[in-house]
Structure 1
Amino acid sequence: MRQIARKQFNSLLINIKQYPLVCIYGPDGFGKRTAVHAFLHNRKETYTWIDMYKKDRKLLKELLMKECDKNDIIILNQYRNHVVDSQIIEICTQGEHSCRIIILATDIPSFFNAKLQKWILMIPIELYPEYPYAWLRVIMDSFNNLQDMFHGTQLLEKFLSALEQGKLHGDESLLRGEVELILAYSRYNNLHEMSRYFKRSKTLLRDQTSRINNAEIITTLGSPHNLFLYHQKPGDIQRLVNILRKDLHYYQEITNHSNGGLKEQAVAEQLLESGRFTESIHAAWEAYYIAEHYRQKWICVSSLFTIGRSAYHLRDQVMLQYVLQRLTDVKKKETLPPLLAEIDLAQAYLYILTDRCEAVAEWIREGREGDILQGAVLYSSIVYGMYLIKTRNYAKLHVVASLLESHAHERKQLFATIYALLFQCILLKEKDDQPALRRTINRLIYISQPDGIMTTILELGKDVFLACSEHWKWRKLYRLLEAHRDYNSYGLTERELELVDYVLKGYSRKEMAEASGLKVNTIGSYMKKLYRKLNIHNRTELKERFIK
């Protein structure tokens, strides 16, 4: 293997003068440093080594600019990152010097952004047949990270043509197995088709591990809600969960357990949406620890997001704050743009639920898409719409709701449709258009009830649905909404809310008077008014209504 690698290195480095930036990826101990050193020594090139594990990445640009004036070639050794640093790209594109940069990296990048796309387009097509697996990786990145279906399809057609003509070196069955894996990834929103391609890939690869798969590729595309990506039609969630339970192992066996924890996370999200919050937390923690074991950070973020939403509905403030802090800690350590965007969306959703809109990330408040990949971009519109509701910006919300419903129909993402209809319900309530509101509510129930999707309605449409409860029939949803009815939805004053809290804490009338600074008789008068408002007769009934 070392001899093969050395030959490939040399054939690659021969072309170094044509490119200002060359990245060589491979595991530690594979001979990258030795091969590059020998090649450059034989060509009598002047170069310098920079061991990245000893350097502060924030000072990388300053360091490179200093070295560019002294050497023809700079080698960044032990470069550990999953995305090529923007500082390196900036220096290479300025064209102010003739210095070239070689990156010797341990890990294959799991994300290529638009800035790197032009570098991929610069690679001559004549080079690809010599390196079929590099060719396949470019196709994989075009389909997934760059979301450039046109360029990816062109490269794939040329690859298959070269494979048919016998121009590629390597086992044809293994190469076709890699192609099936790429096609599976490109069906990101159709879990049934993905499963079919993964099975075929496993058969063609003869149970070997894929050579182009990256175990740390961002399969969530930046959405903290996984079922959001796959759910296409009413009543389909259970089928999706069953597919993951039955077929996910085919995929994990050829990709070193990429997406570890997804199966458990799908179950957690199903439980969350059906209002089973305690069970959802248990399932999400299981998913979190499995994902953490296999370094699937994006699924860890999804699990924390699910735990946070469940904790909010259980009124567990300690757990909710713990989740928000955990997400902040993860964000400090990460550099991948889609993963950072996923964390921002998860935190923003929870901040909006808890009326902390000032803490929402700036790019979300401005309605930008950020670094979300194409398949999950509608989720940023959902969180932006929630922000507009809290800030009562109904003019912009109307535009967001219309666009969201249109794009959701086009992309077959049912959760996006549900959120769009909830936005419309809120707008119709503001207009006091009761006939249209009732029609929209019934349409929303029609597409939500088959899967038992209630929590999304609880988070955004609780007051709207309770105000129109006589016009729709879904007993389970009604019980959930009643159980989580806000105190002030009964029209209670601040003083009455204060007394409710005292009753729930078990205070006697005398203790309530001492805590509030009122007389005992005044407390008695307030309690009588409170009972009349709530149509109850005593403390026991009050506790039964509010204890949840």
Structure 2
Amino acid sequence: MPKPKKNLTRNLYFPKRTIDALKEVTNYPLTIVEAPMGYGKTTAVRELLSRDQVNLIWLRVQDSSLSIFWQRLCRQLGEVDYDRSLSLAALGFPGNSTARQEALNLFEDMELKSTTVLVIDDYHLVECPELNSFLEFLVMNESTALHLLLTARHTELQRTEELSLKGYLLPIGKEAFEFSVQDIKAYYRLCGITLKDHEAARLYALTEGWISALYLIMLQYMEIGILETSQDINKLLESTIYQHFPNEIKELLQSLCLLDSFSLEQAIYLSNNTNSEALLTEIIAKNAFVKYDERSKTYHMHKIFTRYLRHLLEGREKDFIRQLYRKIAEFSLKNKNYVEAMENFYRAEEFESLLLAVEADRGHSIHNEQREAFIRFFENCPKTVLLRHPTAVLIYALCLFSFNEMERFQQVCGEFAEAVRCNQDLEPESLAQLMGEFELLLSFTEYNNIRKMYEHIKSAAELLKQPAEFLDTKGSWTFGSPSVLYMFYRESGTLKQEVQNLKEAMPIYSRITNGHGSGSEYVLEAEWYFNHGDFVSAEIEVQKGLYAAKRWGQGDILCCALFLQARLALVRGDYSQTLDILRKMREELYGKRWYNLMHTAELCDSFLQACLKREERIPLWIKERDLDSSGLYFPAKVFLNLVYGRVLLVKGEYLKVLGTAEEFLGEAGVFPNLLGEIYAYIYLAAANEKIFRRTAALEALEKGLDLAAVDEVYLPFMENSDFIQPLLEELAGKSRFQDSIRRILEISKSYQAALLQIRREHFPENRPALTERETEIVQLVVQGLTNKEIGERLFITVNTVKTTLKNVYNKLSINNRVLLKQHVTSL
């Protein structure tokens, strides 16, 4: 039997069952290609779908980081729709229902010019319950023209059976990639080898149709003319491929094997060999385990081959391996891949360079997902090295504070002070900048005491000659709270002074933080006026807050200002204006990609809907007081309680109000948030009144008034006067709060009249009329049908379904299917 030419062994052959299976990919929203390593999954998907003129978006997973996966996914999606890929990147991985809905909207709106398949290669490396759940959500809605295909050695999606039964999922297992006896004969013939039936059968018995083994045996046959083997895969790789390379290529391969993929520039840098391109070309010509992707300009090693090379690398001297990690880290640092740089400097035990990478990044790449690794870097760093890098220690302290690692934070603050003392040779300006940044950090440890915060802010301002470098001024100033007054009203009798304190502090703070929180002082003053019933002054001040927030791009302050304007419109009985303001808020947030404030906007809307007793309009996460399912931070939790408590009253769950009141008061006392305590006592009074416990109700109300009256905080009582008016009237004649109660009852009368007028004009009798087609589609949505299924049922296009649903959302002032279902159920 003549030996084949070497170049023929790189010919690709695909069994008919593989071809037939992959032809079905574009008929399903999701395809899962599941087979062990070395079955040719990636090659088959890439080659066969490309032949069918399918536009492939290829994402190769390299590690288990969900945030890095999302960043790379958005970058790849930028090839088909750059603008929406930026929005998805700003949104971040959608880990809750609100973010998922927005991600779905963005996927739906993508403009795909041809049939497009998003391939997530090696999905098992990043697979986690959160990602599985999101992909299942995306697929079940089936409102995007983008097809998903996952290649993996194994997957753990929970709903694969349901997805398959409903026609959403095409599962392709390893049997689709196994070579039969006839496939083996055809494959070898394509590569120049003619097999007899018994030889093909013997190869099948040896390999069970595994293409990687068949390929290696073919290479072995080319060398020694034998089709038999008893060797394992590593020995086959050794005998058929690796041992035939010259030492220069072996050295290159071992220098690159810690990476699954790499650029030519990276190969030259890691191997220190300027001849790398020619050597890689030679490697590719001689085997199929290294490939070059012309589109991404990167080389890819097969997992089987990298595993073998890494096994060889373990036998090298430790210093050689450390130098490889160091070079990988240096290349990552040069390309501003800071997290990868830190991780590889750590593996190389190059702590000096690791801290330099931390300083270059300024902590901006470190999120909660990197918490454990980041703490590990610093805890294992020699103290002598740490003390030489006070800037890195400061950044570490900032990150610990954001992680709520307060015990470690206190310890690291001491280490920072020691590091500064040990670096007396620092330039005076650099030292002043560091100490100013540290003072600014310390101001946050005094949240929410404006006076104490201000002392640190003044010290920081005296030291800083330029704005702070390390503070993330793009982060939320309000922690997601829609009210500034709620944040800083901490002690009865001090509200007027707190307003003045913030007015003094904010200009200085804003100057040293590039405008962070700008406008908050005006919003606080506006809320102060609003709460004691001076609505004209409130409107004047809130306009100032709006201007400052827009000028400096402060989305959270904008939310607070617009929320106050919406409440003012409600007081006037102008529900159309209220809805218009809420719409404007959503447009601002989504248009500027302030996705961290999506739940703040929902909280604003829900607060107003609860005032109107429209419980059906409240999202589930608020009804269940589920802070973890939102983008809000713990300091905003008490405001969530304000909405939740009112919802319980509206639903008539009075015993539940009484059962949670102690928890409400406890959480309100953490910072403290006095507004939370005032509302809690009002809810206690209302609930006790409803179950005929008048004495307890009056006691609770008096406790609320005792906190609020001295500061003329009347609005909480006015907003809940529909539940507590009889109590207020009883106290009016015999309580020391007579004047306050008289004012509350005065503004409550016009407020409740305004709400009554809104209910008459806008709901339930005069709900916006839906057309016959809109009603049909809404009914099918409630039944759980996807856009595609609705289109098929009504013989209309998916785009028509989308457009009609958007019209319905606008009419009903909602923005997703969940609220639509709640709306319909409430009719």
2:698 is aligned to: 438
Change (3 A) 1:323 1:295: same
Query: 1:114-141 deviations in whole A, cap 9, x for unaligned?
Result: 3332343233353755654343233223
1:194 aligns with 2:453: yes
1:484 is aligned to: 751
Aligned counterpart in structure 2 of residue 279 of structure 1, from 515, 529, 537: 537
Q: Rg bigger for which structure?
A: 2
Aligned counterpart in structure 2 of residue 234 of structure 1, from 492, 503, 512: 492
8 Å contact kept, 1:351–1:360? yes
How far apart are the structure 2 equivalents of 1:310 and 1:74?
62
1:212 is aligned to: 470
Q: 1:435, CA displacement in angstroms?
A: 1.7
Query: Structure 2 matches for 1:7-86, cutoff 5 A?
Result: 55=82, 57=85, 65=121, 71-72=261-262
2:730 is aligned to: 470
How far apart are the structure 2 equivalents of 1:293 and 1:123?
39
Aligned counterpart in structure 1 of residue 662 of structure 2, from 402, 405, 415: 402
Change (3 A) 1:336 1:321: closer
8 Å contact kept, 2:442–2:456? yes
Letter in structure 2 aligned against 1:477: I
How far apart are the structure 2 equivalents of 1:391 and 1:405?
21
Query: 1:281-327 deviations in whole A, cap 9, x for unaligned?
Result: 33223211211110111100111111111111111122201112123
1:152 aligns with 2:380: no
- Give the TM-score taking structure 1 as reference length: 0.69
Change (3 A) 1:451 1:303: same
How far apart are the structure 2 equivalents of 1:74 and 1:223?
49
2:509 is aligned to: 251
Q: 1:412, CA displacement in angstroms?
A: 2.2
Query: 1:447-491 deviations in whole A, cap 9, x for unaligned?
Result: 1111111111111234413454132312222322233344999xx
How far apart are the structure 1 equivalents of 2:626 and 2:421?
44
Q: 1:190, CA displacement in angstroms?
A: 0.5
Q: 1:156, CA displacement in angstroms?
A: 1.9
Letter in structure 1 aligned against 2:648: L
1:117 is aligned to: 371
SS of 2:482 mapped into structure 1: coil
How far apart are the structure 1 equivalents of 2:546 and 2:535?
16
1:270 is aligned to: 528
8 Å contact kept, 1:202–1:208? no
Change (3 A) 1:238 1:483: same
Change (3 A) 1:378 1:463: closer
1:92 is aligned to: none
2:519 is aligned to: 261
SS of 1:445 mapped into structure 2: helix
Letter in structure 2 aligned against 1:248: M
8 Å contact kept, 1:378–1:416? yes
Letter in structure 1 aligned against 2:746: R
How far apart are the structure 2 equivalents of 1:114 and 1:168?
34
How far apart are the structure 2 equivalents of 1:479 and 1:444?
18
8 Å contact kept, 2:482–2:556? yes
How far apart are the structure 2 equivalents of 1:392 and 1:258?
42
- Give the TM-score taking structure 2 as reference length: 0.47
Aligned counterpart in structure 2 of residue 317 of structure 1, from 563, 575, 590: 575
2:620 is aligned to: 362
Q: 1:356, CA displacement in angstroms?
A: 3.0
1:290 aligns with 2:548: yes
How far apart are the structure 2 equivalents of 1:476 and 1:455?
10
SS of 1:157 mapped into structure 2: helix
How far apart are the structure 2 equivalents of 1:412 and 1:148?
20
How far apart are the structure 1 equivalents of 2:752 and 2:583?
28
Aligned identity (percent) is 18
1:532 is aligned to: none
How far apart are the structure 2 equivalents of 1:404 and 1:73?
56
Aligned counterpart in structure 1 of residue 431 of structure 2, from 159, 172, 175: 172
1:415 aligns with 2:675: yes
Letter in structure 2 aligned against 1:153: Q
Q: 1:422, CA displacement in angstroms?
A: 0.9
Change (3 A) 1:114 1:336: farther
How far apart are the structure 1 equivalents of 2:529 and 2:264?
53
Q: 1:245, CA displacement in angstroms?
A: 1.8
8 Å contact kept, 1:258–1:296? yes
How far apart are the structure 2 equivalents of 1:65 and 1:269?
52
1:203 aligns with 2:470: no
How far apart are the structure 2 equivalents of 1:350 and 1:488?
11
Change (3 A) 1:312 1:51: closer
8 Å contact kept, 1:278–1:310? no
Letter in structure 1 aligned against 2:621: W
8 Å contact kept, 2:655–2:687? no
2:565 is aligned to: 307
Query: Structure 2 matches for 1:305-384, cutoff 5 A?
Result: 305-333=563-591, 338-369=596-627, 370-384=630-644
Unaligned ranges ≥5, structure 2: 1-62, 69-74, 94-117, 126-258, 266-302, 308-327, 339-359, 733-737, 761-827
8 Å contact kept, 1:221–1:373? yes
Change (3 A) 1:317 1:50: closer
How far apart are the structure 2 equivalents of 1:284 and 1:379?
20
How far apart are the structure 2 equivalents of 1:20 and 1:131?
30
Letter in structure 2 aligned against 1:420: A
How far apart are the structure 2 equivalents of 1:108 and 1:282?
39
Letter in structure 2 aligned against 1:482: K
2:418 is aligned to: 161
Q: 1:431, CA displacement in angstroms?
A: 1.7
Q: 1:239, CA displacement in angstroms?
A: 0.5
SS of 1:203 mapped into structure 2: helix
1:525 is aligned to: none
Q: 1:378, CA displacement in angstroms?
A: 1.5
Query: Structure 2 matches for 1:97-116, cutoff 5 A?
Result: 114-116=368-370
How far apart are the structure 2 equivalents of 1:74 and 1:391?
65
8 Å contact kept, 2:506–2:518? no
Change (3 A) 1:375 1:74: farther
Q: 1:384, CA displacement in angstroms?
A: 1.4
Change (3 A) 1:487 1:262: closer
How far apart are the structure 2 equivalents of 1:244 and 1:193?
11
Q: 1:218, CA displacement in angstroms?
A: 1.2
